[in-house]
Structure 1
């Protein structure tokens, strides 16, 4: 089932729901535009993925909110970002569209993890405008029961 790509999995710290992430990234893109920079969201992380070629072959960053994978974003590219401390970091440049996924439980972890294509949750059907976001507790309960 793997078509030569791999995904990343990351906790969405500071956001309780997908709408929080959407609003935050929209503000970040507006700030970058005001500074004359490319209007993209760049998520900076300490570690550079060793499997970058696989990530750039169609990979997405899957976001975990309060113990549930709820959304993903396609990864456009990886940029080198050098901090004021002179340390080289990885800037994960994300496509602006945030795609909601079926809720999938995930335990807490630090940093990011590789996420194999065969293990990822399915995208939600957004042809009808998408489903309203459920409270995390309800989404977890439904997922545990196999309903969602």
Structure 2
């Protein structure tokens, strides 16, 4: 398979994967295509790698908990005249194994080998482990 890269982004103000899904569902109703998107100031320099199978991994309450596949990048000109990038996402949210992530601003690239695996079928509704337990398990190489 060709090379791809992912993004990781804090989902600010989100309490859970379900609240992210609810917020996106409400927001999507206001958009012409009805597809979720995240608008950012910076245009990813590694666009071709993102569009070659990349996802955005959402950090909720200090843990990577889910991902969405990136469909495309659209140019958006804000009311201030500034060019921005809309990261257009597939609507389906895939829950992942949790992985601790310290706070950061904006988005970051996430190599495929550093991304948490999707939860196996049937485990998608499990609540994430507390951040301290996830960190302890990651420290000893279990997560």
Mapping for residues 60-75 of structure 1, pairs under 5 Å: 60-75=55-70
TM-score by length of structure 2 reads 0.90
CA RMSD of aligned residues (A): 1.6
Give 1:29's aligned residue: 28
Q: How far apart, CA to CA, are the structure 2 residues paired with 1:129 and 1:6?
A: 25
Q: How far apart, CA to CA, are the structure 2 residues paired with 1:130 and 1:61?
A: 18
- Number of residue pairs matched by the alignment: 139
The 3-state SS of whatever aligns with 1:100 is strand
Mapping for residues 1-148 of structure 1, pairs under 5 Å: 3-32=2-31, 37-125=32-120, 127-128=121-122, 130-134=124-128, 138-146=129-137
Q: How far apart, CA to CA, are the structure 2 residues paired with 1:106 and 1:14?
A: 16
TM-score by length of structure 1 reads 0.88
Q: How far apart, CA to CA, are the structure 2 residues paired with 1:4 and 1:113?
A: 17
Question: Unpaired segments of 5 or more residues in structure 1?
Answer: none
Question: Unpaired segments of 5 or more residues in structure 2?
Answer: none
Q: Is the 8 A contact 1:103 1:139 kept in 2?
A: no
The 3-state SS of whatever aligns with 1:15 is coil
The 3-state SS of whatever aligns with 2:24 is helix
In structure 2, the CA distance between the partners of 1:120 and 1:129, relative to structure 1 (3 Å rule), is: closer
Q: How far apart, CA to CA, are the structure 2 residues paired with 1:129 and 1:107?
A: 25
1:64-99 superposed Cα distances (whole Å, 9 cap, x missing partner): 011100000000000000001110000000000000
Q: CA shift at 1:3, angstroms?
A: 4.1
Runs (4 or more) in structure 1 with deviation over 6 Å come to none
